[in-house]
Amino acid sequence: MPSRKELANAIRVLSMDAVQKAKSGHPGAPMGMADIAEVLWRDYLKHNPTNPEWADRDRFILSNGHGSMLIYSLLHLTGYDLPLDEIKNFRQMHSKTPGHPEYGYAPGIETTTGPLGQGITNAVGMAIAEKALAAQFNREGHDIVDHFTYAFMGDGCLMEGISHEAGSLAGTLGLGKLVAFWDDNGISIDGEVEGWFTDDTPARFKAYGWHVISGVDGHDSDAISAAIAEAKSVTDKPSLICCKTIIGYGSPNKSGSHDCHGAPLGEDEIKASREFLGWTGDAFEIPADIYAQWDSKEKGQQLESSWDEKFAAYAKAYPELASEYKRRINNELPGDWAEKSQAYIEELQANPANPASRKASQNALNAFGPLLPEFMGGSADLAGSNLTIWDGSKGLTRDDASGNYIYYGVREFGMSAIMNGIALHKGFIPYGATFLMFVEYAKNAVRMAALMKQPSIFVYTHDSIGLGEDGPTHQPVEQIASMRLTPNLYNWRPCDQVESAIAWQQAIERKDGPTSLIFTRQGLEQQARNAQQLSDVKKGGYILSCDGNPELIFIATGSEVQLAQDSASELRKQGKKVRVVSMPCTDVFETQSAAYKESVLPASVSRRVAVEAGIADYWYKYVGLNGAVVGMTTFGESAPAGELFEHFGFTVENIVNKANELF
The per-residue pLDDT for range 546-602, each reduced to its tens digit, is 999 999 999 999 999 999 999 999 999 999 999 999 999 999 999 999 999 999 999
**CA atoms of 78 and 63, how far apart (whole Å):** 20
566 a known binding residue? Answer: no
Q: Looking at the chain, how many residues does it have?
A: 663
Distinct helix (H) and strand (E) counts, the chain: 27, 18
Q: What is the pLDDT of the chain when averaged over all its residues?
A: 97
Region 175-184 average pLDDT:
98
> CA-CA distances (angstroms) from residue 197 to 155, 160, 188?
8, 11, 10
Tell me how far apart the alpha carbons of residues 195 and 578 are, in angstroms, rounded to a whole number. 65
Cα separation, 60 vs 46, whole angstroms: 10
Cβ atoms of 30 and 11 closer than 8 Å = yes
Distance CA 117, CA 379 (A): 21
Residues 61 and 100: their CA atoms lie apart, in Å, by 12
Sign of the torsion angle spanned by Cα atoms 644, 645, 649, 651: negative
471 a known binding residue? Answer: no
- Phi and psi dihedrals of 215, rounded to 5? 65, 30
Express each pLDDT in 105-143 by its tens digit: 999 999 999 999 999 999 999 999 999 999 999 999 999
Residue 81 assigned to a binding site: no
Burial class of residue 96 (count of CB atoms within 10 Å of its CB; 0-12, 13-18, 19+): buried
- Are the CB atoms for 242 and 185 separated by under 8 Å? no
319-325: long-range contacts, CB 8 A cutoff, minimum separation 24 = 321/137, 321/139, 324/137, 324/373, 325/137, 325/144, 325/427
Helical axes 497-509 vs 357-368, angle rounded to 10°? 50
For 338-350, write each residue's pLDDT tens digit: 999 999 999 999 9
3-state secondary structure of 597: helix
End-to-end CA distance of the chain: 86
Domains and CATH numbers, the chain: 4-301 (3.40.50.970), 336-518 (3.40.50.970), 538-661 (3.40.50.920)
| 580 membership: H or E segment, kind and range | strand 578-582
Three-class SS string for 121-155? HHHHHHHHHHHHHHHHHCECCECCCCCCEEEEECH
* 122 residue type, one letter: N
CA distance 607 to 611: 13
3-state secondary structure of 14: helix
Query: Per the residue annotation, which of 412, 499, 560, 612 is the catalytic one?
Result: 412
pLDDT tens digit string along 507-552? Answer: 999 999 999 999 999 999 999 999 999 999 999 999 999 999 999 9
156 is in an annotated binding site: yes
Does the global pTM surpass 0.95?
A: yes
Is residue 570 flagged as an active site residue? no
Q: Are the beta carbons of 632 and 613 closer than 8 angstroms?
A: yes
What CA–CA distance (Å, rounded) separates 251 from 236?
Answer: 40
pLDDT for the residue 601: 98
Q: Is 94 assigned a ligand-binding role in the annotation?
A: no
* Residue 370 marked as a ligand binder: no
Q: Is 66 annotated as a binding residue?
A: yes
Contacts of 61 (CB under 8 A, 6+ apart): 110, 111, 113, 119, 120, 122, 123, 126, 149, 150, 151, 152
User: pLDDT digits over 63-102, tens only?
Assistant: 999 999 999 999 999 999 999 999 999 999 999 999 999 9
Strand, coil or helix: 276? helix
Kindly tell me if the per-residue pLDDT of 447 is higher than 90. yes
User: What angle, 0 to 180 degrees and rounded to 10, lies between the N-to-C axes of helices 4-22 and 267-277?
Assistant: 170
CA 558 to chain centre: 25
Q: What backbone phi and psi angles, to 5 degrees, belong to 406?
A: -110, 125
Beta bridge partners of 608: 553
Confidence of residue 625 (pLDDT cuts 50, 70, 90): confident
Residue 315 is inside which H or E element, if any? helix 297-317
pLDDT at residue 379 above 90? yes
How does residue 626 score in pLDDT terms, banded at 50, 70 and 90?
confident
Mean pLDDT along residues 429-447 = 98
Angle between helices 652-660 and 560-573 (to 10 degrees): 60
Q: How many CA atoms lie within 13 A of 309 on its CB side?
A: 5
DSSP single-letter state for residue 508? H
How far apart, in whole angstroms, are the C-alpha atoms of residue 609 and residue 659?
A: 7
**What is the biggest distance separating any 2 CA atoms in the chain, rounded to whole angstroms?**
91
Q: 138 a known binding residue? A: no
Query: 425 a known binding residue?
Result: no
CA distance 324 to 311: 13
